[in-house]
Amino acid sequence: MTVLRRLRGDRGFLAGAVVALLMVLVAVAAPLLAAAAGQDYTTYHDNLLDSARGGVPLGRFGGLGAEHWLGVEPATGRDLFARVVYGARVSLGVAVGATLLQVLFGVLVGTAAGLGGRWADAALTRVVDLVLAVPSLVLAISLLAIVPTDWPRPLLLAAVIAILGWGGTARITRGETLSLRTRDYVAAARLSGAGRFRIARREIAPGLAAPVLTYAALLLPTNMISEAGLSFLGVGVRPPTPSWGQMLSTATTWFRADPMYVLVPGGLLFLTLLAFVLVANGLRRALDPRQSEVLR
């Protein structure tokens, strides 16, 4: 219970958690929110644009008003509120999916390396080194460019980000496993005849939870940046599906003419990233293995 108590006393963590939770809620409830605003993310509103001036929204602050709560997108007139809430789904969904995959993969490979024999360890460690050494952005762009366009893009994005980013988790898990396996309680379990799988499951896994959770919390914002980056570069989700990175990419040509269009997705991305980083840092402080060692 020390962990929870410490988290409750951590203001940074609390603020981050509230914002992060809010964003998750927004993503989950995107259709409801859009319906509440009476808008959807695909309908064009050409009548709200000043076509002669390149299609900037008419009115102040990007056409912000009672009809369109955050204004409309330049050049299309699509409702910006509906697009950012649906965009949250892609940004968060891809990041969460990629993180889960990375943790799953990294923990499996890391524990196998930590508990396996010398040869298994050497081989798996080299594989992890290889994954960490790959220029991931270049490879991600190539992978996403060659797959057929009718494959589900968000799943694909999550998979590609995960495939290129599980190395860190594997390394941390291996290190942690190596240190845990020398503990007295693990030795006791081994002496009493427990097999490797049982040791991994019953003795090692609980000890891994804290560092892996902390690392995963740090991975999540990194993965969000990856998704935004790939969408920004045009290999992310396909139109008309919105994502924050893709919106920012279009917004680069509009940042003077319609600042709202940059500020809304950019601000949300910044806020969400900050929130997740605060959560991760709070978790790390609360769960730090060295500190918990001292306390025990």
The reply on whether position 53 binds another protein by CB under 8 A is: yes
**In the complex, what is the shortest distance from the CB of residue 258 to another protein, in angstroms, rounded to a whole number?**
8
Q: How far is the CB of 43 from another protein (least distance, A)?
A: 7
The DSSP-derived string for 142-209 is HHHHHS-TTS-HHHHHHHHHHHHH-HHHHHHHHHHHHHHTTSHHHHHHHHTT--HHHIIIIIIHHHHH
- Is there binding between residue 77 and another protein (CB under 8 A)? yes
In angstroms, what is the minimal distance from the CB of 59 to another protein?
A: 14
Binding characters for another protein, 127-146, by CB under 8 A (x = yes)? ------------------x-
Does position 239 bind another protein by CB under 8 A? Answer: yes
Three-state SS at 257: coil
For the record, the structure tokens of 271 come out as 């806020």
User: How big is the CA angle at 220 (ends 214 and 222), to the nearest 5 degrees?
Assistant: 110
β-strand pairing of 49-50 with 56-57: antiparallel
**Rounded-to-integer distance, Cα 221 and Cα 211, Å:** 17
Contacts of 69 (CB under 8 A, 6+ apart): 37, 80, 81
238 contributes a contact to another protein by CB under 8 A: yes
Q: Helices 136-146 & 153-165, crossing angle to 10 degrees?
A: 150
Residue 124 Cβ, how far from another protein at the closest point, in Å?
37
Contact between 54 and another protein per CB under 8 A: yes
Say how far residue 274 (Cα) sits from the centre of its chain: 12
For another protein, the binding residues in 183-202 under the rule CB under 8 A are none
Work out how close the CB of 44 gets to another protein at its nearest, in angstroms, rounded to a whole number.
5
Asked if 234 interacts with another protein (CB under 8 A), we say: yes
Site string for another protein, 14-43 (x = CB under 8 A): ----------------------------xx
Q: Which residues bind another protein (CB under 8 A)?
A: 42-44, 46, 49-56, 74-77, 145, 149-150, 234, 238-240, 252-258
